[in-house]
Amino acid sequence: MAIAATLAVCAATASAGTPKRIDLVDVELIDPVQVTAKATGDTFHGLVIPGAIICDSYDKADEMAWRYEQHATDVMQDKATGGRSKLIRGKPMAEPVVTDYGCVLVPAGRPMTWGRGNQGAPIVSAVSKNGITVTGVTLMTMMEFNAVGQ
């Protein structure tokens, strides 16, 4: 919850005109490459995640993606059954609020910088909707590469 509180304070400060930065991970971007935040989905569910989720760990980013996918599945089931799927499953999972988990959603199409030389989870840096530069972990499926060979 400390990260969520930090995000809220920084968002309020950024809206007052002072640029802020949040480093959810303490690493340097190695051999940086420009990428774009990408919405993810499929033909079955439609648009599932409206951009790149940036968190302090790969596991948390993966969990946020799962929560979006579960929400989309529940909504699709309700549409297909005229709402009767709730009788078996209960209420659908709510769309996640990523800031409740200390993460940030970068809208699709927004530029990001990926440190392609980093080992392990993909580390990116991007400017959020409210003007805060955020550095953290995302999923490879949430990045669109801007040029061939990158």
Q: Which residues contact 59 (CB under 8 A, 6 or more apart)?
A: none
pLDDT in tens, 6-61: 444 344 444 455 557 788 888 888 889 999 999 988 756 667 899 999 999 999 99
107, β-bridge pairs: 51
Average pLDDT over residues 57-78: 91
- List, in sequence order, the alpha helices (H) in 1-150: 2-15, 58-80, 85-89
The mean pLDDT of the chain is 82
The percentage of the chain sitting over the pLDDT mark of 90, rounded to a whole number, equals 43
Q: Where are the domains of the chain?
A: 2-60+99-145
pLDDT at residue 4 above 50?
no
pLDDT in tens, 105-120: 999 999 999 987 666 7
Confidence band (pLDDT; 50, 70, 90) for 131? Answer: confident
- pLDDT for 21 equals 79
> Tokens 């089931």 correspond to what residue?
77
Going by C-alpha positions, the residue among 57, 45, 37, 74 that lies closest to residue 120 is 57
**Percent helix, strand and coil across the chain, each rounded to 5?**
35, 30, 40
The distance of Cα 108 from the centroid of its chain, to the nearest Å, equals 10
- pLDDT for 138 equals 94
- pLDDT for 126 equals 94
Q: What is the pTM for the complete model shown?
A: 0.78
